[in-house]
Structure 1
Amino acid sequence: MALDPRANVEPEAPPDFSLQTSFGDDLKYFPYQLRGECEDLEAYEPGGFHPVHLGDIYDGRYKVVHKLGFGGFSTVWLARDSASDKWAALKIVVANESSTYETRSVDSDHSVVLESEFFDVATRKFWIAGPNGHHLCLVYPVLGPDLSRLSKGIHTRFKPESAKALMLQAAQALSVLHAEGLCHGDFTASNIAVRLKDDFHAFNEEKFLEVFGRPRTDPVRPYSEESPEPHAPRYIVEALDFLSSSSNLLCERICVIDFDQSFTATSAPTKLGTPAKYLAIEVAVGEHASPASDVWALGCAIFRVRSGEDLFFDYDTNSPADVLQQIVKTVGDLPDRWKETRFDEDGNPTKDQGEPFWALEETRPLEDGVHEILDEPQGLFIDQNGAPQDPAVADPAPPQFESDGPPRVPYTEAYSGMLWKPTAVCVDGGYFAAYSDESDEMLKAFPKMAESEAAQLVDLLSKIFEYDPAKRVAAKQLIGHPWFGHSQRKRKRVD
Structure 2
Amino acid sequence: MIGAEPLSGYKYGGYHPVHIGDKLHGDRFTILHKLGWGSYATIWLARDSAVLEPRYVALKIIVATLVNTSNEINILQYLRNESKSRIHPGSEHVLGHLDDFRVSGPNGTHHVLVFDVLGPSPDELRNGNEDGEELVWKRSRIISKEVALGIAYLHELGVIHGDLHSSNIAFSVPDLRGTQEAVVIGYLGPIRKYAVPANGKMSHPQYLVEPTSFTKYVLNISEENGAQFPWKIKIFDFGEGSFDFIISIYEIVGQNSVFSSYDNDVDYLCRQYSQRIGQLPERWRAYWSGKELKSRPFEQYLKSDILVDYRELTGDDTNDLSNLLRQMLVLDPKQRSTVHEILGHKWFNPTQSR
Q: Tell me which interval the TM-score lies in, with the shorter structure as reference length.
A: 0.7 to 0.9
Question: 2:24 matched to which residue of 1?
Answer: 58
- After superposition, the Cα gap between the structure-2 partners of 1:484 and 1:160, relative to the gap in structure 1 and judged at 3 Å, is farther
Q: Provide, for residues 139-193 of structure 1, a one-character-per-residue CA deviation record: whole Å limited to 9, x for no partner.
A: 1111112233234599752443311111111111112222333322222222222
* Aligned equivalents of 1:476, 1:367: Cα separation in 2: 24
Question: 1:14 matched to which residue of 2?
Answer: none
Deviation at 1:132, TM superposition (A): 2.2
Question: 1:232 matched to which residue of 2?
Answer: 204
Q: Could you tell me whether the CA contact under 8 Å between 2:195 and 2:207 is conserved in 1?
A: yes
Q: Within 5 A, what are the aligned runs for 1:213-232?
A: 213-221=189-197, 226-227=198-199, 229-232=201-204
Question: 1:91 matched to which residue of 2?
Answer: 60
- After superposition, the Cα gap between the structure-2 partners of 1:151 and 1:159, relative to the gap in structure 1 and judged at 3 Å, is closer
Q: Provide, for residues 107-161 of structure 1, a one-character-per-residue CA deviation record: whole Å limited to 9, x for no partner.
A: 3224445662222322221212222222111111111122332345997524433
Gaps of 5+ in 2: 223-228
For residue 106 of structure 1, the aligned residue among 75, 86, 91 is 75
Aligned partner letter, 1:331: I
* Aligned equivalents of 1:365, 1:54: Cα separation in 2: 54
* Aligned equivalents of 1:299, 1:52: Cα separation in 2: 37
Question: 1:472 matched to which residue of 2?
Answer: 336
For residue 237 of structure 2, the aligned residue among 258, 271, 279 is 258
- After superposition, the Cα gap between the structure-2 partners of 1:304 and 1:231, relative to the gap in structure 1 and judged at 3 Å, is same
Q: Within 5 A, what are the aligned runs for 1:62-77?
A: 62-77=29-44
1:67 alignment partner, SS class: strand
Aligned partner letter, 1:370: L
* Aligned equivalents of 2:193, 2:40: Cα separation in 1: 21
* Aligned equivalents of 2:291, 2:208: Cα separation in 1: 41
Aligned partner letter, 1:194: F
Aligned partner letter, 1:232: H
Q: Provide, for residues 385-430 of structure 1, a one-character-per-residue CA deviation record: whole Å limited to 9, x for no partner.
A: xxxxxxxxxxxxxxxxxxxxxxxxxxxxxxxxxxxxxxxxxxxxxx
Question: 2:102 matched to which residue of 1?
Answer: 127
Aligned partner letter, 1:45: K
Q: Provide, for residues 33-63 of structure 1, a one-character-per-residue CA deviation record: whole Å limited to 9, x for no partner.
A: xxxx333343233322222211111112111
Deviation at 1:202, TM superposition (A): 3.6
Q: Provide, for residues 306-335 of structure 1, a one-character-per-residue CA deviation record: whole Å limited to 9, x for no partner.
A: 122221234x35587875565455434432
Alignment identity in percent?
A: 29
Query: Is residue 265 of structure 2 the alignment partner of residue 296 of structure 1?
Result: no
* Aligned equivalents of 1:104, 1:243: Cα separation in 2: 28
2:152 alignment partner, SS class: helix
Q: Could you tell me whether the CA contact under 8 Å between 2:187 and 2:214 is conserved in 1?
A: no
Deviation at 1:304, TM superposition (A): 0.5
Aligned partner letter, 1:248: I
* Aligned equivalents of 1:375, 1:55: Cα separation in 2: 47
From the two aligned structures, give the one with the greater helix fraction: 2
- After superposition, the Cα gap between the structure-2 partners of 1:141 and 1:374, relative to the gap in structure 1 and judged at 3 Å, is same
Deviation at 1:98, TM superposition (A): 2.3
Question: 2:142 matched to which residue of 1?
Answer: 165
- After superposition, the Cα gap between the structure-2 partners of 1:227 and 1:374, relative to the gap in structure 1 and judged at 3 Å, is farther
Aligned partner letter, 1:42: S
Query: Is residue 85 of structure 2 the alignment partner of residue 118 of structure 1?
Result: no
Q: Within 5 A, what are the aligned runs for 1:263-342?
A: 294-314=241-261, 316-318=262-264, 327-328=273-274, 330-341=276-287
Deviation at 1:338, TM superposition (A): 2.4
* Aligned equivalents of 1:66, 1:141: Cα separation in 2: 15
1:106 alignment partner, SS class: helix
Q: Within 5 A, what are the aligned runs for 1:454-469?
A: 454-469=318-333
Query: Is residue 161 of structure 2 the alignment partner of residue 184 of structure 1?
Result: yes
Superposition TM-score, scaled by structure 2 size:
0.81
Which range moves more in the overlay, 460-469 or 47-56?
A: 47-56
1:50 alignment partner, SS class: coil
Q: Could you tell me whether the CA contact under 8 Å between 1:91 and 1:137 is conserved in 2?
A: yes
* Aligned equivalents of 1:319, 1:232: Cα separation in 2: 37
Q: Root-mean-square deviation (CA), in Å? A: 3.3
* Aligned equivalents of 1:196, 1:100: Cα separation in 2: 31
* Aligned equivalents of 1:298, 1:312: Cα separation in 2: 14
Aligned partner letter, 1:299: I
Question: 2:47 matched to which residue of 1?
Answer: 80
Superposition TM-score, scaled by structure 1 size:
0.59
* Aligned equivalents of 2:275, 2:74: Cα separation in 1: 34
- After superposition, the Cα gap between the structure-2 partners of 1:78 and 1:325, relative to the gap in structure 1 and judged at 3 Å, is farther
1:334 alignment partner, SS class: coil
Q: Could you tell me whether the CA contact under 8 Å between 2:60 and 2:113 is conserved in 1?
A: yes
1:310 alignment partner, SS class: coil
Q: How many residues align?
A: 333
Q: Which has the larger radius of gyration?
A: 1
* Aligned equivalents of 1:336, 1:190: Cα separation in 2: 34
* Aligned equivalents of 1:76, 1:452: Cα separation in 2: 42
Question: 1:19 matched to which residue of 2?
Answer: none
* Aligned equivalents of 2:312, 2:108: Cα separation in 1: 51
Deviation at 1:206, TM superposition (A): 2.1
Gaps of 5+ in 1: 1-30, 262-293, 342-355, 377-445, 489-495
